[in-house]
């Protein structure tokens, strides 16, 4: 069975509430009638409530940009899975390279967040990726395997089918650089083979793997024809309704 394409917009720390609401309404009006692909947006926490209202009645998926593993408690600055659900979120981005590199999140902490999200009914997008230094040292696959195996530790096959993987080479995020189609496909194929080792081959064939790293209207078509690329995790280009629409409506 073919994997359904998945386009996710990560708004990062951008847009005040009114701006976020306007962008969400624009996206919902142009991208919500596409039954052959999934579309997700992840606003900042402060805009989640307004964006949920803006996309109400559409098929747009609402996601958080991070999540704690606990339902509640003394976790200053965190947001729980129950809070995300209360705001209308069904998905969450976990392990984004900016969380890893800027805030020191380890593979073990990523796993804690991921298993916590699954336990509370939130579908995780697990982000993995290598730095430029790691690529130049030819240890890309070694780095990715470690991130994947630790990130998916204690996640059984019944839960794994709720997960989306996002490959985001750190050296291509916000830099304007993009992995070549061949580089991206090579890594996506490796990740799928790795999933087949961790789980069953059939399950690995059904899990969607997204590419993230300076995705824009100019390169989405050539990325999406690659056999193991099932969609995109979009950053800057997701903040403009027209560019995001073009990405969602890849050819």
In-domain check, residue 68: yes
- Output the six-digit token pair for 224: 């999406």
- Asked whether residue 1 is domain-assigned, the answer is no
Given the residues 78, 96, 130, 186, the one annotated as active site: 96
Contact criterion met (CB below 8 Å) for 234 and 8: yes
pLDDT at 177: 74
How many domains would you assign to the chain?
1
Q: Kindly report the CATH number assigned to the domain that includes residue 73.
A: 3.20.20.70
Cα(219)–Cα(83) distance, integer angstroms: 36
Q: What percent of the chain has pLDDT over 90?
A: 91
Residue 96 falls in the annotated catalytic set: yes
Percent of residues in the chain assigned helix, strand, coil, to nearest 5:
45, 15, 40
Question: Do residues 25 and 2 lie in contact, with contact meaning Cβ atoms separated by under 8 Å?
Answer: no
Contact indicator for 207, 163 with CB cutoff of 8 Å: yes
Q: Tens of pLDDT along 65-112?
A: 999 999 999 999 999 999 999 999 999 999 999 999 999 999 999 999
pTM for the model: 0.96
Query: Over the stretch 173-224, which tens digit does the pLDDT of each residue have?
Result: 777 777 899 999 999 999 999 999 999 999 999 999 999 988 999 999 999 9
Closest CA relative to residue 59, chosen from 87, 34, 25, 77? 34
Mean pLDDT of 13-30: 97
Strands 6-10 and 231-234: parallel
**Predicted local confidence at residue 20, as pLDDT:** 98
At residue 225, the pLDDT reads 97
pLDDT value of position 217: 97
| Three-class secondary structure of residue 76 per DSSP | coil
The answer to whether residue 101 is domain-embedded is yes
Please give the C-alpha separations between residue 142 and each of 95, 100, 109, 138, in angstroms, as whole numbers.
17, 17, 19, 9
The predicted structure's pLDDT at residue 219: 94
Cβ atoms of 95 and 113 within 8 Å: the answer is yes
Residue 63 has pLDDT above 80, yes or no: yes
| SS3 assignment, position 105 | coil
In a domain, 22, yes or no: yes
- Tens of pLDDT along 32-49? 778 999 999 999 999 999
Classify each residue of 80-98 as buried b or exposed e, where b means 16 or more C-beta atoms within 10 Å of its C-beta.
bbbbbeebbbebbbbbbbb
Decide if 92 is inside a domain: yes
Mean pLDDT score of the chain: 95
Q: Which candidate in 98, 105, 130, 168 is catalytic?
A: 168
Domain that residue 235 falls in: 6-248
- CB atoms closer than 10 angstroms to residue 239: 18
Helix (H) or strand (E) holding 14: none
Query: Annotated catalytic, 168?
Result: yes
Residue 24: inside a domain: yes
pLDDT of residue 33: 78
Summarised one tens digit per residue, pLDDT across range 123-171 is 999 999 999 889 989 999 999 999 999 999 999 999 999 999 999 998 8
């Amino acid at each position: 069975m073919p994997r359904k394409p998945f386009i996710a917009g990560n708004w990062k720390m951008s847009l005040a509430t009114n701006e976020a609401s306007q962008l969400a309404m624009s996206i919902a009006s142009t991208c919500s009638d596409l039954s052959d692909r999934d579309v997700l947006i992840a606003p900042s926490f402060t805009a989640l409530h307004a964006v949920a209202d803006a996309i109400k009645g559409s098929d747009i998926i609402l996601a958080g940009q991070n999540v704690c593993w606990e339902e509640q408690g003394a976790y200053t600055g965190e947001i729980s899975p129950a809070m995300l659900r209360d705001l209308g979120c069904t998905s969450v981005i976990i392990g984004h390279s900016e969380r890893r590199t800027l805030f020191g999140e380890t593979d073990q902490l990523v796993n804690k967040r991921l298993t916590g999200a699954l336990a509370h009914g939130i579908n995780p997008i697990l982000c993995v990726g290598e730095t430029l230094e790691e690529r130049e040292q030819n240890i890309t696959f070694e780095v990715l395997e470690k991130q994947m195996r630790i990130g998916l530790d204690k996640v059984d096959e019944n839960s794994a089918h709720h997960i989306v993987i996002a490959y985001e080479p750190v050296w291509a995020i916000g830099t304007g650089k993009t992995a070549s189609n061949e580089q991206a496909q090579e890594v996506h194929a490796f990740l799928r083979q790795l999933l087949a080792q961790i789980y069953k081959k059939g399950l690995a064939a059904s899990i969607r793997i997204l590419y993230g790293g300076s995705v824009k209207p100019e390169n989405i078509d050539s990325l999406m024809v690659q056999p193991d690329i099932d969609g995109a995790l979009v950053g800057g280009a997701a903040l403009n309704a027209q560019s995001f629409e073009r990405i969602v409506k890849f050819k």
